[in-house]
Amino acid sequence: MIPETILAKIDGNRTRYVDELLAFLKIPSVSTYSVNHKDVRRAAEWVFNHLKRLGFQSSIHETKNHPVVFGQRCKREGAPTLLIYGHYDVQPPEPLEDWCSPPFQPRIHNGCVYARGASDDKGQFFTYLKAIEAILAVEAELPINVKLLIEGEEEIGSPSLLPFLQSHKKLLDADAVAISDTSQFEQGIPAITYGLRGLLYFQVEVTGPRFDLHSGSFGGLVANPVQILAEMISKLKNPDDTVSIPGFYEDVLPLQDWERHEMESLQYNEEELKNYLGVDKLTGERGYSAMERKTARPTLDINGIWGGFSGEGAKTIIPARAGAKVSMRLVPNQKFATISGLFKRYLESLSPKGVQVKVTELNGADPVLVMRDRHSVQAAARAIEIGFGKRPVFIREGGSIPIVNLLQKELGIEDTLLLGWGSPDDGAHSPNEKFSLQDFHRGIRSAAALFYELAPK
Ligand code: BES
Ligand code: MN
Ligand code: MN
Are 412 and 349 part of one and the same domain? no
Whether 285 is covered by a domain: the verdict is no
Whether 254 is covered by a domain: the verdict is no
pLDDT tens digit at each of 457 positions of the chain: 999 999 999 999 999 999 999 999 999 999 999 999 999 999 999 999 999 999 999 999 999 999 999 999 999 999 999 999 999 999 999 999 999 999 999 999 999 999 999 999 999 999 999 999 999 999 999 999 999 999 999 999 999 999 999 999 999 999 999 999 999 999 999 999 999 999 999 999 999 999 999 999 999 999 999 999 999 999 999 999 999 999 999 999 999 999 999 999 999 999 999 999 999 999 999 999 999 999 999 999 999 999 999 999 999 999 999 999 999 999 999 999 999 999 999 999 999 999 999 999 999 999 999 999 999 999 999 999 999 999 999 999 999 999 999 999 999 999 999 999 999 999 999 999 999 999 999 999 999 999 999 999 8
Q: Does any ligand 1 atom lie closer than 6 A to the CB of residue 402?
A: yes
Q: pTM surpassing 0.85?
A: yes
Domain at 333, CATH number: 3.30.70.360
The bound ligand whose nearest atom lies closest to the alpha carbon of 367 is 1
Rounded CA separation 104/101 (Å):
9
Beta partners for residue 358, in sequence order: 205
Are 386 and 237 part of one and the same domain? no
Q: Does any ligand 1 atom lie closer than 6 A to the CB of residue 365?
A: yes
Q: Does any ligand 1 atom lie closer than 6 A to the CB of residue 330?
A: no
> Of 337, 363, 389, which residue is a domain's last?
363
Whether 267 is covered by a domain: the verdict is no
Are 229 and 327 part of one and the same domain? yes
What is each CA distance from 7 to 14, 82, 277, in whole angstroms?
11, 20, 37
Are 24 and 96 part of one and the same domain? yes
Are 18 and 35 part of one and the same domain? yes
Total domain count for the chain? 2
Are 448 and 329 part of one and the same domain? no
Rounded CA separation 422/277 (Å):
18
Please report the atom of ligand 1 found closest to the CA of residue 199. Answer: 19
Whether 138 is covered by a domain: the verdict is yes
Three-class secondary structure of residue 94 per DSSP: coil
Q: Does any ligand 1 atom lie closer than 6 A to the CB of residue 418?
A: no
Q: Does any ligand 1 atom lie closer than 6 A to the CB of residue 199?
A: yes
Whether 279 is covered by a domain: the verdict is no
Q: Does any ligand 1 atom lie closer than 6 A to the CB of residue 154?
A: yes
Residue 15 CB partners (closer than 8 Å, separation 6+): none
List the helix and strand counts (H, then E) for the chain.
15, 18
CA of 189 to the centre of ligand 1 (A): 20
Q: What is the pLDDT of residue 457?
A: 85
CA of 400 to the centre of ligand 1 (A): 4
Are 153 and 24 part of one and the same domain? yes
Are 406 and 428 part of one and the same domain? yes
Range of the domain at 427: 4-196+367-454
Are 356 and 375 part of one and the same domain? no
> Of 348, 363, 378, which residue is a domain's last?
363
- Nearest residue (by CA) to ligand 1, atom 7, is 399
Are 371 and 357 part of one and the same domain? no
Are 78 and 216 part of one and the same domain? no
CA of 145 to the centre of ligand 3 (A): 28
- Nearest residue (by CA) to ligand 1, atom 20, is 400
